[in-house]
Structure 1
Amino acid sequence: MTGGTTRPTIGALPDTTADSPLVSVALTWLVWTLFAASVAALAVRTQIGGPWQVPGVVAVDGLTVLMWVVVTFFGGIVLSYSRRYMAGSSHERRFFVAAFGFTTLVMALVAADHVLLFGLLWVAMGLAMAELIGTVSGWEQARAAASVARRYFLASSALLGVALTALWWTTGATTISGVAAAADTLGGAAWVIAAGALVLAAMIQSALVPFHGWLLSSMTAPTPASALMHAGFVNAGGILLVRFAPVVTVDATLMLAIVAVGAASALLGKLFKSVQSNVKGELGCSTVGQMGFMIMQAGLGFFGAAITHLILHGFYKAYQFLSAGSRVARESPERKSSPALGAGDAAVTLATGLAGGALFAVLTGKGTAADSGLLLALFVVITTLHASRNAVQQASLPTAVRYGAVPLVFLPAIAVYALVYRAVSGVLSDLPVVAAPTELTALHGLVAAVFLAVYVVTEAGVHKRSGRLYVLLLNAGQPASRTVLTDTEDYSEY
């Protein structure tokens, strides 16, 4: 072009200490203030204990203060990051208000004792997350993604409403603590309805298969919103099962079913991830798998382990999403996929896993008796070893060094997992049920055997040899078509 001028559309990065709008600054500092207060509450609670409650309305226990610390920490990190990420966006204020509202709603949810208050906060939490998913309302795809998520969340809320109504009808209790106290009287059709609805509500909220569609369709959300979603929102399914542990532990068959659906999601999430072609898609499928591990731990009766897993996964996934941009910059089209599990890799992995399992058993006492603790140790070893191997593989180390690096990363990681588990279990000691290990049955053995077989086949890359399986996995791991933003020029408009 001649005789014309080009107006730049992208300027220098803003100075967030000076250029951030007042609302963004105020809400960010308010969340960090809530974090400091939550840490103080956790310290006081640990030392003093005792009931902190408004009878019949709210009850602050170990789970409450622990989740306050976790949620406000993630909220503070996300809002601090977003002051630069959302700078200049016409949706900045809307995003910060929604993110702050979501954080406070979760804080209220984990303190709620009245079943009606709990149910209303569950609905509000879902609507706030749908708002974050649809933040960039100028995109038709963002509006569609928010609509998809909203339908799933309302379905989850309706199921929770059914469960709470059935529990109130059966026990006459209007509080969660009252339901827990009357758990010994539960049974019959009303319990089946309540327990089944609770599990389904948890599955939807945690994006377990076959309810994973809303999570994979949520990629129109700003990356900080995705971090908050994957590090916090999906954990609500585990919190729900922990809160109503006295209800779901009534019957061993239901607990086995929870293990089975968790195992299915853990495996399918891993398989879906193997056919994804974008970073956020991979992270979304990883979350589906990790939530499967969390639900499995609850199904085995180790609710403290489920909370431990959701906390550690939250830290990991928040980091992964907030650093997703730099990961894209480092990769190139020529980069090869991770190598399949070879003989040398298999030997090192097996030996490392056995050593890690023994270390976990020594540090926690789980896995030393013929109960579901054996499976807990197995699944913790698998998920921690998988994360450790991925970390080592991404470092692009020579083969000989990689073999030695896996145990160097894995053994400290599983020791940290075990110590955090012990600490979390101590904080949760005032809950009605923290650990209720179930007796191992042949069906438990079958679930574990199938899980191990599919996991090994996947690690060996055997599943990649089938074109039909590839297509099935690709289709099952796709977001809703109307939520996919195909015109990259649209990115520049908002």
Structure 2
Amino acid sequence: MSGRNSTTTVGSLPDTAADSPLVPVALTWLVWSMLAASIAVLAVRVRTGFTWEVPGVVAVDGLTVLMWVVVTFFSGIVHSYSRRYMAGSRVKTPFFATVFGFTVVVMGLVAADHLALFAALWLAMGLLMAKLIGIVGGWDQAQAAASVARRYFLASSGLLGLALAALWWATGATTVSGVAAAADTLGGPVWLAAAGALVLAAMIQSALIPFHGWLLSSMTAPTPASALMHAGFVNAGGILLTRFAPVVTVDPALMLAIVAVGGASAIGGKLLKSVQTDVKGQLGCSTVGQMGFMIMQAGLGFFGAAITHLILHGFYKAYQFLSSGSEVEHTSPGDGTPHTVGPVASVAGAAVTLLTGLAGGALFAVLTGKGTTADSGLLLTLFVVFTTLHAARSAVQHTSLSATARYGAVPLVFFPAIGIYAVVYSAVSALVPVSAVTTDLTLLHGLVAVAFVAIYTGIETGVHERSQRLYVALLNAGQPAADTVLTATEDYNEY
């Protein structure tokens, strides 16, 4: 952050327990209390299956209480972390107030049933996140980044407003539940406009390609705000598609299109990450790719899997951002891009990777019942295996093990990970009030899957690095907005 709004500190940071303003302390305790209350409500929900509502305004169902727990947990971590991170900053109290306000707005969003309330909270969520991105008032690049993000979020809110207005026009319903109940009557140009606008709004909020520019331009945000953004805010696209699942599942062609755009972002995010040189930039591109996986799962009709993915990704990405400083300290330049399976990998190593993936897919199928028949569940299993295997290999890659030892270590990480994924998926699916909508596989599904596997394998083996033209194209596509980039060290000099 810019030092223009910070007090110069010499020596150790102050004791946050004894030298914190009242507002950060009170809000931190309040958020953790909200987490405890949310866990209690979730336990009651699991035990009794209750649904509480204010008719026509809010409806508290399984997805609501689950997201309350997730949101307050991430927010509590960010609040606690920020008491040290923001120590001495003049914007400490406004920062905490904004983070807490964001938390409350998101909790309201997942409970909102009235269409107007849902749209208003969606808009407020975006504006608060834009404020966090530009929280440092004297830093021109931060203000530019906030402006970029704000434009994207206003576009997303405009598309959502268009979609909700069209759904109200088509169904006469003023609530999310009312629209869902009348989804069987939807069709024609009005439905297509509404469904298309919903998908576009979700893509912008989740920073899918080609709307990833705001995310890569938001690195001026304080690190805890980035953690909240990548662990929570971008997940809103999955929440939106889940809430309006009956609308987007009307036509299998639209669902296939959602799979395709999600797959493009999953591949694109991985490619963009390969040319990033800074830790936060790499994490941002990783988020773009992981949100692509989440949208793919929604497009396949498995909304419980999409929610599972956003939760697990949130835990992983929050940890990655909050520990990004130590990552910089422990990373030294290398001569090339490391691959756990690369051009020089042995045939035996590639075979181990393939067999590990197949065994993991079988385990997921046994635990969840998905992938045992020729329907979209087979693709779900395939994509879950890919994303989990990638995460396992990334974790092993950052160890000091030899290249040969990594092949043996990957299964040791992968099998527990995919087992946890399957268990969490089953538990989440029991809470999400949307049943899976499986579709029969078509030739187009096959083409999407083959293209995805071929491109992903090419990236893993480093084939894409042989093309200088591709490198330049990726470098250009992964650049943040020009006015958000530091061009002089003095703009970032805290002292």
Would you say same fold, with TM above 0.5? Answer: yes
Q: Measure, in 2, the Cα distance between the counterparts of 1:8 and 1:232.
A: 32
Deviation at 1:491, TM superposition (A): 2.8
Matches within 5 A, 1:354-373: 354-373=358-377
* Consecutive unaligned residues in structure 2, runs of 5 or more: 1-6
Aligned-residue offset at 1:335: 6.5
1:409 lines up with 2:410 in the alignment: no
Q: Deviations over 1:354-385 (max 9, x none)?
A: 00000000000000011000000000000000
Within 1, Cα distance between the matches of 2:68 and 2:86? Answer: 25
Q: In 2, Cα distance between the equivalents of 1:128 and 1:321?
A: 20
Equivalent residue number for residue 302 of structure 2: 302
Give, as a single letter, the amino acid of the residue that structure 2 aligns with 1:454: I
Taking the TM superposition and a 5 Å limit, the aligned residue runs for 1:28-177 are 28-177=28-177
2:12 matched residue in structure 1 = 12
Give ranges in structure 1 of 5+ residues lacking alignment. 1-6
Give the Å deviation of 1:8. Answer: 7.7
Residue 206 of structure 2 contacts residue 288 of structure 2 at CA under 8 Å; is this kept in 1? yes
* 1:321 equivalent in alignment to 2:321: yes
State whether residues 52 and 60 of structure 2, in contact with CA within 8 Å, keep that contact through their aligned partners in structure 1: yes
Cα separation, 2, equivalents of 1:208 and 1:345: 33
Which one-letter code corresponds to 1:85 in the other structure? Y
1:131-280 superposed matches below 5 A = 131-280=131-280
Q: Report if aligned partners of 2:44, 2:50 keep a CA contact under 8 Å in 1.
A: no
State the distance in 2 between where 1:349 and 1:333 align: 27
Q: Return the letter of the residue paired with 2:488.
A: D
Alignment: residue pair count: 485
1:326-375 CA-to-partner distances (Å, cap 9, x unmatched) read 00000112475313522343211101000000000000000001100000
Quick check: 222-231 or 391-400, which moved more? 391-400
- SS of residue paired to 1:315: helix
In 2, Cα distance between equivalents of 1:10 and 1:481: 33
Give the equivalent residue in structure 2 for 1:290: 290
1:346 counterpart = 2:350:
yes
CA distance in 2 between partners of 1:224 and 1:51 (Å): 33
Find the counterpart in structure 2 of residue 3 from structure 1.
none
For the Cα contact (< 8 Å) 2:8–2:494, is it kept in 1? no
SS at match of 1:59: strand
Matching residue of 2:423? 419
Q: Which residue of structure 2 lines up, in the alignment, with residue 449 of structure 1? A: 450
Report the 3-state secondary structure (helix = DSSP H, G, I; strand = E; otherwise coil) of the residue aligned with 1:18. Answer: coil
Name the CA distance, whole Å, in 2 between partners of 1:358 and 1:137.
Answer: 53
* Superposed displacement of residue 473, structure 1: 0.3
Distance 1:363 1:78 in 2: 34
Task: Give the aligned CA root-mean-square deviation in angstroms.
Answer: 1.2
Shift, 1:39, TM fit? 0.3
Q: Post-superposition, which runs of at least 4 consecutive aligned residues in structure 1 deviate over 3 A?
A: none
- Equivalent residue letter for 2:419: A
Greater CA deviation, 19-28 or 227-236?
19-28
Cα offset, 1:9, TM superposition: 4.6
Structure 1 residue aligned with 2:3: none
Whole-angstrom distance in 2 between the partners of 1:262 and 1:377: 16
